[in-house]
Amino acid sequence: MNKLERLRELDSEARLVVSIGSVLGWDQETYMPPAAIDERAEQLSFLEALAHDKQTVPEMGELLDGLGSTAANPGGDPSLPELDRAYLRVMRRAYDQATRIPTEFVAEMARAVSLSQAAWAKAREEDDFPSFAPHLQKMLDFNRKIAAFLDPARKPYDVLLDRFEEGATEAGIAAVFGALRDDLVRLLDRIKGRPQVDDSFLHAHCPEAAQARAGEYLMKILSYDLERGRLDKTAHPFTTTLGSSDVRITTHYHEDFFPSSVFSTIHEAGHALYELGIDPAPEYRRTALHEACSMAVHESQSRLWENVVGRSLGFWKRHLPEFQRMLKPALDGVSLDRYYKAINKVEPSFIRTEADEVTYSLHVILRFELEGELLSGRLAVNDLPVAWNDRMRKFLGVVPPNDAKGCLQDIHWSMGAFGYFPSYALGNLYGAQWWDAMKSGGMDPAAAVERGDLGSILSWLRANVHKPGAAWRPDALVERVTGKPLDASHFVRYLEEKYAGVYGF
């Protein structure tokens, strides 16, 4: 066995442990009885520590060194094939980061995260921010320690952002988001000057069972393989990867607003399609290369399928009749034009996951700014609810009636996932740029959607975005696929063209 084969073997063992932990994490969010939380926290803590030990064995560092991989030259020996060099780059980054974080710290944080998630779920249900505040403080403290372990010379938030989007910095994202916010606010002001869309029929009673049937229909037309995944119900929809052929999604059901489950299911299926399409080479399955390029690229898949495809006129020209049958009588007598405008209604609201395309990124920018302030210490945990409501008023002109619909609505901070939120808005930008790249390459994706040929879009994404996995950094991937760096103008132009049609300006 040569050095590269041995490195892949060690990497695969570590990822096997991570996969086992993912099964327990998925179970905690879906079927685990509430009283099991303390034991589950211990189980996950043990597995996190075991995985970390396997990711930091000295032999792994020796193999990387032997293959010529260093911090200055992470790709190793220039004579190696391109894919092998990409793997060494990814492994050098992962190994160097993992070896800087003590195993006992990993175990301690895993235990705290499990308890924090349970506390968040209860606090959200009971609208009780003070009960969650100590857990949030712990998550902040853990993240500051992670940043100090990884690079004490850099701003903590920059270190954490880089973990989700390699190369990202707070200043760089702030520059992109500042211009994007201005464009979105201008568009929102134009929309506010037009007669509002009537979406009252979307709030007609629609039983959970009917919505579940609609979800099954959506998964089928999106080519989400239920031999390699499944759909379950949770409070906060998510996707989890338990293996290369086991990628599961969840959704939620609101019987007075069925679009919530419809678009959550499409969104999570988009994530799953990406995971199931990663396949850089057979020898790299169950290795660090068999991972997403970045979380923003991951979100580009969910947002593209949910919005660019799932909220398009062409999609519903083809599928509305079947939905009217499945959700009867909720959509009786509703015309295509009325339905299309209703599902694309723009109206500032409290909940990020149910926000329209124009205001959605404003929710993300709000969270980006607040978590930067929390991490820097400029904002105290106990002051978060007031700061959240002030920022909602400033950005969206609305104030949540309670913390459950305000600062408690997202699961991410309870998981300790600081630095993740920008991925959602960046994902919108990537998705629009992929869509334009399809058109530049001679495809008409909108026409494909209208004739029911979603497979051609999925095939393009598989070949260009999914298959490489983590072989390229996100900035390199977007240049390879589209010929230029990430550019927000694609997304802004898409919104302007679409909503000029919806609102008639």
CA–chain centroid gap for 126, Å, is 26
What does the radius of gyration of the chain's CA atoms come to, in whole angstroms? 23
Selecting among 165, 268, 357, 369, the annotated active-site residue is 268
How far is the C-alpha of 443 from the C-alpha of 439, rounded, in Å?
5
- Between CA 301 and CA 431 the distance in angstroms is 7
> Can you tell me the distance from the alpha carbon of 375 to that of 253, in angstroms, rounded to the nearest whole number?
34
Q: Residues near 456 by Cβ (< 8 Å), separated by ≥ 6? A: 443, 445, 448
Strand 246-251 vs strand 239-243: parallel, antiparallel, or unpaired?
Answer: antiparallel
Residues 59 and 82: their CA atoms lie apart, in Å, by: 23
| Structure tokens belonging to residue 145 | 């320690």
In angstroms, the Cα distances linking 376 to 109, 141, 384 are 20, 11, 13
Residue 268 annotated as catalytic:
yes
Contact predicate 165/474, CB 8 Å? yes
Q: Cα 98–100–102 angle (5° rounding)?
A: 85
Helical axes 129-150 vs 384-396, angle rounded to 10°:
90
Closest CA to 217 of 262, 248, 249: 262
Type and span of the H or E element at 171: helix 170-192
Can you spell out the DSSP letters for 112-128? HHHHHHHHHHHHHHHT-
Distances (CA, A) of 127 to 137, 353, 380: 18, 18, 19
Q: Is the dihedral of CA 33, 36, 41, 47 positive or negative?
A: negative
- The two structure tokens encoding residue 86: 């990409």
Cα–Cα distance for residue pair 505/463, rounded to 1 Å: 37
Helix (H, G, I), strand (E, B) or coil at 389: helix
Sign, Cα dihedral of 40, 42, 43, 44: positive
Phi-psi region of 150 (alpha: psi -120 to 50; beta: other; left: phi over 0): alpha
Read off the DSSP letter of residue 234: -
Peptide bond into 329 cis (omega under 30): yes
Classify residue 295 by its DSSP letter.
H
* Residues annotated as catalytic (active site), given as ranges: 268
